[in-house]
Amino acid sequence: MANNTITDSNFNFTGQKSVYKGKVRQVYNINDEELVMVATDRLSAFDVVMPKGIPYKGQILNQIATKFMEQTEDIVPNWLTATPDPNVAVGHLCEPFKVEMVIRGYMSGHAAREYKLGKRVLCGVEMPDGMKENDKFPKPIITPATKAEMGDHDEDISREDILKRGIVSEQDYIILEDYTRKLFQRGTEIAASRGLILVDTKYEFGKTKEGKIVLIDEIHTPDSSRYFYAEGYQERQDKGEAQKQLSKEFVRQWLIANNFQGLEGQTVPFMSDEYIETVSERYIELYENIMGEKFIKADVSNIQERINNNVEVYLAK
């Protein structure tokens, strides 16, 4: 099964101008008009791409992201125009903002790690005293990160610094904040309807050629978001127990337990085929819980050929 993954793609689509390789996606520029985004099965953690692909991961991420875009397009415009293949999204060519809009409803992950170090301000936003890990914030906080170039860690940044450094204009930033809060509110409602808590997430935005700000990249996927199971949440908090999570955190915890956090001099631990299989199963479980529907596995006998054919058929139209 581990062979039936797509970890790299060297497509040459009709009208292709250039290709950009991200941590888990490859983005093809078609005639400076459209972008074809291929979600690979690469797994990234601590900003490091793991040596083996995870079966069906690309399909899962792509389908969650595209379905959530469809479920939020009434409140926030997005870049998406078509999904010609289970691993592919096609949309408007956009100029991305060089900032990720991270929003947190609960003190988890990075925020909790900073809090434990005694910090009470994150990205210029104050965090109340006396909180425990995974407690709910009085209201969601926005803690942006600058988009790192390939290989570097994304960095926390405050609203003030974003404006001072001219990364985003104030006029645009107000829209980004508004869209971020609206998307998080909708995501929270959808998660609640599935017995989940949307803990934190990140959104990325870009500008179309016409200057319209739109949501790009992924939304509410387990790679960009953290979910808890709502049932038993409060009980676990009261007892000081770890929360039951639906996110990529289980991979991070496995890596930490195997002495890897992406730091200099550390090597990625060996991932057996059996372990890879369990990660794939967890991603399918994530999909089914987050989307509230059964996951349908696409044909993976020749993923490259399938994607190439489906995209070419779409572009010919």
- 3-state percent helix, strand, coil for the chain, nearest multiple of 5: 30, 25, 40
Extended beta strands in the chain, E state: 16-21, 25-30, 34-39, 44-45, 48-49, 80-85, 88-92, 94-96, 99-106, 121-122, 125-126, 136-142, 145-146, 155-156, 196-208, 213-216, 225-229, 245-246
User: Quick one: pLDDT at residue 148?
Assistant: 63
Instruction: Work out the percent of the chain whose per-residue pLDDT is above 70.
Output: 97
Mean pLDDT of 240-245: 91
CATH architecture entry for 96-246: 2-Layer Sandwich (3.30)
User: Quick one: pLDDT at residue 223?
Assistant: 83
Tens-place pLDDT, residues 245-300: 887 878 888 999 999 998 999 999 999 999 999 999 999 998 999 999 999 999 99
Q: Are 312 and 28 in contact (CB under 8 A)?
A: no
pLDDT band at residue 10, thresholds of 50, 70 and 90? confident
CA distances from 20 to 14, 37, 154, 294 (A): 16, 9, 18, 32
User: Mean pLDDT lowest for which of 6-10, 196-200, 235-239, 303-307?
Assistant: 6-10
User: Quick one: pLDDT at residue 1?
Assistant: 42
User: Quick one: pLDDT at residue 237?
Assistant: 98
User: Quick one: pLDDT at residue 213?
Assistant: 98
Mean pLDDT of 199-213: 96
Q: What angle do CA 153, 158, 164 make, to 5 degrees?
A: 110
Cα 102 from Cα 1, distance rounded (Å): 35
Q: What angle do CA 77, 190, 123 make, to 5 degrees?
A: 65
User: Quick one: pLDDT at residue 2?
Assistant: 44
- Which candidate, 212, 211, 183, 178, places its Cα nearest to that of 198? 183
Structure-token pair, residue 214? 């739109």
Cα 55 from Cα 297, distance rounded (Å): 10
Tens-place pLDDT, residues 127-172: 999 999 999 999 999 999 997 655 456 789 999 999 999 999 999 9
Measured between alpha carbons, how far apart are the two ends of the chain, in Å?
Answer: 34
Tens-place pLDDT, residues 103-122: 999 999 999 999 999 999 99
User: Quick one: pLDDT at residue 22?
Assistant: 85
